[in-house]
Amino acid sequence: MQAREPQPILASITEAAIFLTLTVELGAQEGVRDLLSDVSGLRRSVGFRIPEAELTCVAGVGAALWDRLFGVPRPAGLHPFRELNGSRHSASATPGDLFFHIRAHRLDLCFELAQLLTARLNPYAQVADEVHGFRSFDERDLLGFVDGTENPEGSAGRAAVLIDEEDPEFAGGSYVVAQKYLHDLQAWNALTVEEQERAFGRTKLSDVEFPDELKPANSHLALNTIVDENGEQQQIMRFNMPFGRVGAGEFGTYFVGYVRGPEVIEQMLENMFIGRPPGSYDRILDFSTAVTGNLFFVPTLDFLDNPPTRARAAVRSTEDAPVSSDGSLGIGGLKGSSPAA
């Protein structure tokens, strides 16, 4: 089988990003399909002028829109985002059919590409959420801790995010979970540095993880290391970014996590919001509220550049049915890392 080219998920960390989530009107499938086939060309039109800015764009499709655009088969792990309601905190599902993760070393390039994409989609889709992220010092979030330390590197990064033989129809694709968290910085900054470090399970200044025996049971890292039934740690790639509006008192982190199977991030979120054991939820959630939640499939560049029609997709596998979205987690074999670890 000819190798399929993934979208630029594993691009280097940049100083700026724009995250766009859109909902698509009924009957607008053809217009959306045409736009998806032009995403690569639009990115080149903007990025070629300043190549050192390294402009990239990753596009994702939600479960409901996938069915309308392409029919069956659906990627094995694609389903609506699963809400979680814990004893004190909730991870809500919010509207979203299309997702664009635009990155560059300069915000102006991100802005122009976002403008071109939304202009093309204007007759067919509405922006449900738009976040402009920025790099903060040495990769710190607005809580003051380094974000993304546990990202795998090199071949381990590819293995963590790219589908392989487990779903050969969609090999080279990936899944992305996107959530917007708002922080209560006044309450957070009222804590001592030592209390903040216990909440995270790592030191604030030097970014060193606590030994396992010193991590509180409800700390971010204690709850959020995922291992499979063989004791192997399961990895994801996080490209979180801070955002905010000083005058409005809005301070947040946009979580975007890529993974080859969404059950890994779903287990992370269950640990965070429900707890392990239940009730021992992530201490960070007392200061960070999730206000959006979506799951998208990220097809390969080959698929995106020449997306099939729904009829053609149905011909490929007429016996496959869409994955059930009955809300069952179906995690199996995973236990015990966090979107923001």
Q: Please give the structure tokens belonging to residue 326.
A: 């009955």
Q: Please give the structure tokens belonging to residue 337.
A: 């890392």
d(CA 78, CA 94): 16
Helix (H, G, I), strand (E, B) or coil at 4: coil
Q: What is the DSSP code (8-state) at residue 295?
A: E
Q: Say how far residue 122 (Cα) sits from the centre of its chain.
A: 24
Q: Please give the structure tokens belonging to residue 276.
A: 């392990």
Q: Which residues contact 171 (CB under 8 A, 6 or more apart)?
A: 1, 4, 162, 163, 164, 165, 300
| Dihedral over alpha carbons 114, 117, 121, 122 (to 10 degrees) | 50
Which one of 108, 147, 167, 207 is the catalytic residue? Answer: 147
Q: Please give the structure tokens belonging to residue 19.
A: 């995250």
Angle at 211 between CA 210 and CA 217, to 5 degrees: 80
Q: Is it true that the peptide bond before 51 is cis, omega within 30 degrees of 0?
A: no
For the four alpha carbons of 176, 260, 62 and 2, in that order, the dihedral sign comes to positive
d(CA 183, CA 231): 34
d(CA 29, CA 27): 6
d(CA 229, CA 81): 25
- Catalytic annotation present for 212: no
User: What's phi and psi for 248, nearest 5 deg?
Assistant: -90, -5
Name the residues annotated as catalytic.
147
